[in-house]
Amino acid sequence: MSKLKINGKEKDFSGKIPSYLSDLLEMLEVDSATVVAEVDGKIIERSNFKTAKIQEGQSIELIRFVGGG
């Protein structure tokens, strides 16, 4: 079992979940400069994406921003 809940949907990483939040974002092809990330209800600041360890079963919310305004 190697599942994470991402934006409310369960995602199976078939054996190996990414080690750090930055790895997850890279895998999902999300530009880290334009995303606000919340892991189990806690905001992880962008400067900590590379050191934020991801664990099995965590619930991750990724809010992506697009330009214009």
> Which residues does 35 contact at the CB level (< 8 Å), separation at least 6?
25, 46, 62, 63, 64, 65
According to the binding rule CB under 8 A, does residue 35 interact with other proteins? Answer: yes
In the block, tokens 């619930």 appear at 59
Q: Which is nearer to other proteins, 13 or 61 (CB)?
A: 61
According to the binding rule CB under 8 A, does residue 8 interact with other proteins? Answer: no
Of 11, 13, 54, 43, residue with least CA distance to 62: 43
According to the binding rule CB under 8 A, does residue 36 interact with other proteins? Answer: yes
Which of 9, 14, 15, 68 contacts other proteins by CB under 8 A?
Answer: 68
By the criterion CB under 8 A, which residues form the site for other proteins? 33-36, 38, 43, 45-46, 61, 63-69
